Structure 1
């Protein structure tokens, strides 16, 4: 399925009724905000929200600089109406940080020398430290 941008309007009968979905990610987690789970027969399911939809906006506000907690609060504080802009499709490129984390991992801590370094670098990339 080609990627598409979808605007969804969720409605609920009262502020205490759950929206029926879980989000994962946020700027603080270095992950793109996306839908993790949908509860059956919920407002989210009725509006057409799908698992793994990437969230672009919550009530017209872009989520790219929002932490996970800020996204959750924006959703919770929506009253009885919630507007989401999402991206859905097979060819969605994830956040750069998800592909190439900026934090040094175990590979960066290798202490190999000579031919051992060369073979290790050919397999795992060059030593960064």
Structure 2
């Protein structure tokens, strides 16, 4: 367009899909209505909307003299097909902070090994050397097993603490 404004067309299937941008400003706030933040992977980000774009019109309605609520209402009235006219970088907005650097140890995750794995790791070399197998709960006599693994007469396992 001649005045440096561009058209951005936003289309979605239904109202459950968010547009993906944050609108701020209005005559009631003393700032022009503008795009404060855009999610780059959202509908608006894919359509080319950028942080700091001043919204001149929503649909056919000129919003340069509108309150924030009036502009918001017009977005809702437009439904799933919204045509915006914007002026690029008309309002300076704070840039998103750079991502945090990765920790040198590769992340916050610890290498956790379950106790069963630790026992097997210790017993497998001994069992392989003797040609046998690692120890098992079933090697113990039924009376020596913990209360947790004993069964009642029906054959079902008891819950821990169940009599």
Task: Return the TM-score normalized by structure 1.
Answer: 0.63
Query: Take 1:5 and 1:73, find their aligned partners in 2: how far apart are those partners?
Result: 22
Partner of 2:20 in structure 1?
20
Between 1 and 2, higher relative CO (CA 8 Å, sep ≥ 6) is seen in 1
Partner of 2:54 in structure 1?
54
Larger radius of gyration: 2
User: CA, structure 1 residues 14+69, in 2 after alignment: closer, same or farther (shift >3 Å)?
Assistant: same
What is the CA-CA distance between 1:74 and the residue it aligns to?
1.2
Query: Take 1:62 and 1:83, find their aligned partners in 2: how far apart are those partners?
Result: 12
User: Aligned with 2:78: secondary structure?
Assistant: coil
How many residues end up aligned between the 2 structures?
A: 90
Query: Take 2:77 and 2:17, find their aligned partners in 1: how far apart are those partners?
Result: 12
Query: Take 2:4 and 2:59, find their aligned partners in 1: how far apart are those partners?
Result: 19
User: Aligned with 1:74: secondary structure?
Assistant: helix
User: Aligned with 1:28: secondary structure?
Assistant: coil
Partner of 1:9 in structure 2?
9
Summarize deviations over 1:3-23 as a string: whole Å, max 9, x none: 821001110110221111111
What is the CA-CA distance between 1:30 and the residue it aligns to?
1.4
Query: Take 2:91 and 2:41, find their aligned partners in 1: how far apart are those partners?
Result: 30
* Structure with the larger strand share: 1
Task: Return the TM-score normalized by structure 2.
Answer: 0.51
Partner of 1:81 in structure 2?
81
User: CA, structure 1 residues 5+82, in 2 after alignment: closer, same or farther (shift >3 Å)?
Assistant: same
Query: Take 1:81 and 1:30, find their aligned partners in 2: how far apart are those partners?
Result: 28
- In angstroms, what is the RMSD of aligned CA positions? 2.0
Query: Take 1:93 and 1:52, find their aligned partners in 2: how far apart are those partners?
Result: 5
> What are structure 2's unaligned runs of at least 5 residues?
93-163
> What are structure 1's unaligned runs of at least 5 residues?
95-129
Partner of 1:64 in structure 2?
64
